[in-house]
Structure 1
């Protein structure tokens, strides 16, 4: 009887996993961000940012919610580690793509801070030393978007709910953050539409070839129609509630 009751209790209280694949190129801030989310969900605190090292291999973080557990895979973003991403693609139920907001400031036409605004930042951010140059930011933007484009070629990944997180906004002044919020979604929408345009052209070329050979074809255009963007900070926790809520809604829809 004890074992029967224990089994029934486990059956009715078990939370199904919702597999969250979290990717991004190196130094995108995803590991620190997930550690912040974990700390707030579990109320156990987080590691100091300076103690968080780049992911080598994978981290697994389980975030128990009321109706499910967000089972988050955090995979290393270095070029030499990306080949292992393919092992996780088929089991993913949502894709989270992390990018450093500071690499996208010029793309979003965010003006540099005034001296007065800069003085309001934490001391470690007031110096220009270590700040990425525009050339470096441009290289990282292009790399991130190229890698994302390669991921999108996987039809399963391209069909998933898609969440972009723009990290490290604590390095920006309040006015820069506000400007970034207003601009970056339009930038991402244009960038994603370029993917769709390329796919439509490729599909049309394929359909033309099929028509000429007398065959019948079908395609998948309009991927990632369910996408969202969050600006966030592992230092301050900004964006944690929105991140969890968005994923929780997708998990509940998926498990119906």
Structure 2
């Protein structure tokens, strides 16, 4: 009887959880974004910016926004690690693609990388949020310029929800707005890719 009651309680207290991939080239600010999100939504429990080092492999964080539970996967962006990204696609519910707005030399590589992601069959239909990071810097490209560069992949996005937003992950500017946009789209897309039950 105890096991039956325990099983019922566990089933009733399970919650929906969405897996979100945070991708982008190395040094785009993915880990800084993850830590800023944890700091905003987990009562300040995050690494300070001076303790953040390049990701080799992955970092995982959990946050809750308006009763929407997110498991955030910050996956390393070095060229060798990008070949492993596709292993995560089938299980994710959304992709956040972080662009270093100051890295003009690699902006085309960045665009080509995003095109490869959205063209993969396992990412079909899931929301894609592109964040033009480092907008606090004087040498950053304007968001409109970044949109123009990335317009060439619009045909691969299809009818899915997608957006480009300016942020400064370091300062936290635009991060909450990006998270709000994402949670609305996850809820809207749950019929297509239902959340996990944890």
TM-score normalised over the length of structure 1: 0.66
Shift in alpha-carbon separation, 1:18–1:65, aligned structure 2, 3 A: same
Structure 2 unaligned runs (5+)? 192-198
Q: Report how far residue 68 of structure 1 moved.
A: 2.9
Residue number in structure 1 paired with 2:137: 171
Residue number in structure 2 paired with 1:113: none
Q: Report how far residue 241 of structure 1 moved.
A: 1.7
Q: Report how far residue 169 of structure 1 moved.
A: 2.2
Shift in alpha-carbon separation, 1:55–1:84, aligned structure 2, 3 A: same
Question: Whose helix fraction is larger, Structure 1's or Structure 2's?
Answer: 1
Secondary structure, aligned partner of 1:63: strand
Residue number in structure 2 paired with 1:25: 25
Residue number in structure 2 paired with 1:253: 188
Indicate if the aligned counterparts of 1:161 and 1:224 stay in contact, CA closer than 8 A: no
Q: Report how far residue 51 of structure 1 moved.
A: 1.4
Shift in alpha-carbon separation, 1:187–1:233, aligned structure 2, 3 A: closer
- RMSD over aligned CA atoms reads 2.5
Shift in alpha-carbon separation, 1:73–1:42, aligned structure 2, 3 A: same
Instruction: Report the Cα distance in structure 2 between the residues aligned to 1:141 and 1:59, rounded to whole angstroms.
Output: 24
- Superposed CA offset, 1:59-90 (max 9, x none): 11111234331111111000011111121011
Alignment of 1:1-256 (within 5 A): 7-103=7-103, 137=104, 139-172=105-138, 184-185=143-144, 187-188=146-147, 190-196=148-154, 223=158, 225-256=160-191
Indicate if the aligned counterparts of 1:67 and 1:252 stay in contact, CA closer than 8 A: no
